[in-house]
């Protein structure tokens, strides 16, 4: 157990002191050694006082002060006076009563996608095609002539007609440059005629690719929207971003993340090339947060992981020990694999990306490599196939500390929910997906299936670990939106009254745990981060309002004042 005022002295200073005291009488030498070590340590110690620090440490949930050493490791938490006494001469930061929580960890995001999204036209939340065109025109002003105009975030369910758009919609405004726009869930793309013409495939006819769909008119001509695997016919023709643009994108994404209080991100799908870029950033001290990188799919990154073993950068800011796998698509584009037909499209049960035996084979490979598996599963069939596969591959090892996880676990058959805890599988869920999907989820699923959809409360009560995230840039980065969605199941305008399927709400503190300690656990990092305790890293966030008595509707008013990693302020930048 760690003591209340655990002190970790500086090793080299203590050794010098020991040499000096060798010539002293025993009693005097002990006193001198103690003072010398304490004074030397205090000079490098930072003391944060006059704060309301929510530690997420159950034995001591709220304290007013904490101290950390030059390496950013927490030395002690408790009463300010006691810590001042212990660390005389420490650099002191007084917060004027402000609220502190452990650094927020997004257990599922996509940094490079976020960075490139920040470099693209943002179409999120546009409520009509006219608004889309306005935003695109504003963005296109900075682009070279003829260059691809890229955008993302459109969602036809927000428009009055609620129907998929067409290439002709774009051609009317952008006849001279290819345009390619990703849907908000990343599972469909919308192109103009020039973008379609760039494809090397003959897109017309009556064929469909496996795992995807080309929307076509009665004559077999593509109308402009491509779903899931069909997107590649266009995406493959988009010129790849240069290394400079990639680095710029990463820099933008990191700045965006720390601005919203994130001190950690589980990056759900990283290629070897991306890992190399992250590594360069880590080497040059340009990673302001911790990245838990997941190798993207059963590809070269998993092979490298299998060959090299777990990767960990000496800075503690970057690790890779996980593989991200995919069993199905998303609900919005009806790509999620369901056990029964979509309620709003009889005959369609969505798509499995791999047949169960093939998927199990990949799970076995990951298991043999000692990799953590994080499997994307949205539909109830997708979740069942993953749970079945994990059960067979883990076997007796299901009781071990494998921390395999299902990403999204969005629609789960009620009988499958207890299997998460039974198999030790972590539910990695995104509260804002529920509040984005709630307007149409019942149409897709019908009322009965909603019982196991976005079912955070059921999942938690079944004993599963609930790691929370946003899936940015599918949703906004800001974890305050996730905390609000979790505690209210309402959108930012307070709709619907009382919350959508209110029985599945979490309390604010439960949601906070999902974005801190349980997210850390999902990344094998709970001994280092996730709560504020002696021996852990001084990763924390200063918030604008006290959390006690904060009405759920007011969670949205929380603002991040500053973000700290390893005891250094990373936002606002110094």
- Point out which residues bind Zn ion (CB under 5 A): 268, 471
396-433 exposure pattern, b = at least 16 Cβ within 10 A, e = fewer:
eebeeebbbbbbbbbbbbeebbebbbebbbbbbbbbbb
- Token pair 């990703």 in the structure block, residue: 182
Instruction: Tell me the closest approach of the beta carbon of residue 108 to Zn ion, in angstroms.
Output: 6
Half-sphere exposure of 515 (CA within 13 A, CB side): 36
Yes or no: say if 464 and 426 are a contact pair by the CB < 8 Å rule.
Answer: yes
CB-based contacts of 304: which residues, under 8 Å, 6+ apart?
Answer: 272, 295
Give the Cα separation of 165 and 122 in Å (integer): 17
Q: What letters, b where the CB count within 10 A reaches 16 and e where it falls short, cover 118-138? A: bbbbebbebeebeebbebbee
Please say which residue, 317 or 433, places its beta carbon nearer to Zn ion: 433
- By beta-carbon proximity to Zn ion, the closer residue of 57 and 475 is 475
Q: What is the DSSP string of 74-121?
A: EEEEE-HHHHHHHTTT-EEEEEEEEEEEEPEEEEEE-HHHHHHHHTSE
**In the complex, what is the shortest distance from the CB of residue 40 to Zn ion, in angstroms, rounded to a whole number?**
47
Q: How many CA atoms lie within 13 A of 468 on its CB side?
A: 35
Neighbours of 471 (CB within 10 A): 26
Q: Report whether 474 contacts 184 (CB < 8 A).
A: yes
Distances (CA, A) of 323 to 101, 148, 338, 402: 30, 32, 24, 13
Least distance from C-beta 249 to Zn ion, angstroms?
17
Coil, helix or strand at residue 228: strand
Shortest distance (Å) from residue 426 CB to Zn ion = 15
> Who contacts 574 (Cβ-Cβ below 8 Å, separation ≥6)?
none
Nearest to 460 by CA among 514, 536, 388, 408: 514
What's the closest the beta carbon of residue 87 comes to Zn ion, in angstroms?
43
Which residue from 250, 256, 262, 312 is spatially nearest to 286, judged by alpha carbons? Answer: 250
C-beta of 106 vs 471, nearer to Zn ion:
471
CB of 522 to Zn ion, least distance (A): 14
Residue with tokens 């010098």: 16
Q: Give the residue with the Cβ less far from Zn ion, 36 or 268.
A: 268
């Amino acid at each position: 157990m760690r003591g209340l005022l655990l002190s970790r002295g500086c090793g080299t200073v203590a050794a010098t002191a020991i040499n000096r005291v060798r010539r002293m009488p025993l009693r005097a030498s002990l006193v001198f050694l103690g003072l010398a070590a304490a004074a030397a340590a205090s000079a490098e110690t930072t003391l944060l006082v006059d704060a309301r620090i929510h530690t997420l440490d159950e034995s001591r949930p709220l304290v007013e002060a904490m101290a950390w050493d030059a390496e950013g490791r927490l030395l002690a938490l408790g009463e300010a006076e006691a810590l001042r006494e212990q660390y005389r001469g420490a650099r002191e930061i007084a917060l004027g009563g402000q609220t502190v929580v452990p650094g927020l960890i997004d257990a599922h995001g996509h940094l490079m996608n976020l960075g490139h999204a920040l470099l693209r036209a943002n179409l999120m939340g546009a409520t009509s095609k006219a608004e889309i065109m306005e935003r695109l025109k504003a963005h296109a002003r900075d682009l070279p002539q003829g260059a691809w105009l890229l955008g993302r975030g459109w969602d036809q369910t927000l428009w009055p007609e609620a129907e998929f758009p067409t290439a002709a919609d774009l051609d009317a405004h952008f006849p001279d440059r290819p345009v390619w726009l990703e849907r908000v869930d990343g599972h469909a793309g919308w192109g103009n005629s020039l973008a379609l013409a760039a494809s090397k495939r003959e897109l017309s006819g009556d064929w469909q690719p496996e795992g995807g769909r080309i929307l076509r008119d009665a004559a077999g001509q593509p109308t402009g929207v491509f779903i899931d695997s069909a997107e590649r016919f266009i995406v493959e023709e988009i010129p790849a971003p240069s290394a400079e643009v990639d680095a710029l994108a990463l820099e933008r994404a990191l700045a965006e993340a720390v601005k919203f209080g994130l001190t950690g991100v589980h990056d759900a799908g990283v290629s070897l090339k991306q890992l190399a870029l992250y590594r360069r950033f880590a080497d040059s001290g340009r990673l302001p947060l911790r990245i838990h990188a997941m190798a993207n799919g059963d590809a070269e990154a998993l092979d490298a992981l299998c060959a090299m073993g777990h990767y960990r950068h000496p800075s503690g800011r970057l690790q890779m020990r996980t593989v991200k796998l995919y069993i199905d698509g998303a609900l919005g584009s009806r790509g999620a694999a369901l056990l029964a037909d979509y309620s709003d499209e009889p005959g369609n049960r969505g798509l499995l990306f791999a047949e169960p035996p093939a998927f199990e084979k990949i799970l076995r490979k990951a298991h043999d490599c000692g990799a953590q598996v994080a499997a994307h599963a949205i539909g109830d069939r997708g979740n069942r196939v993953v749970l079945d596969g994990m059960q067979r591959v883990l076997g007796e090892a299901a009781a071990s500390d494998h921390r395999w996880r299902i990403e999204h676990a969005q629609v789960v058959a009620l009988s499958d929910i207890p299997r998460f805890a039974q198999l030790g599988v972590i539910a990695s869920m995104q509260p804002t997906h529920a509040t984005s999907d709630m307007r149409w989820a019942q149409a897709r699923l019908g009322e009965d299936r909603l019982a196991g959809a976005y079912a955070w409360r059921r999942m938690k009560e079944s004993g599963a670990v609930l790691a929370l995230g946003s899936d940015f840039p599918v949703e906004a980065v800001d974890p305050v939106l996730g905390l609000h969605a979790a505690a209210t199941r309402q959108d930012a305008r307070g709709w619907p009254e009382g919350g959508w399927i209110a029985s599945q709400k979490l309390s604010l503190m439960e949601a906070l745990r999902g974005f801190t300690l349980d997210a850390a656990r999902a990344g094998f990092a709970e001994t280092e981060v996730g709560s504020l305790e002696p021996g852990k890293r001084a990763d924390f966030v200063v918030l604008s309002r006290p959390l006690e008595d904060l009405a759920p509707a007011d969670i949205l008013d929380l603002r991040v004042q500053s973000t700290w990693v390893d005891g250094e302020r990373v936002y606002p930048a110094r």
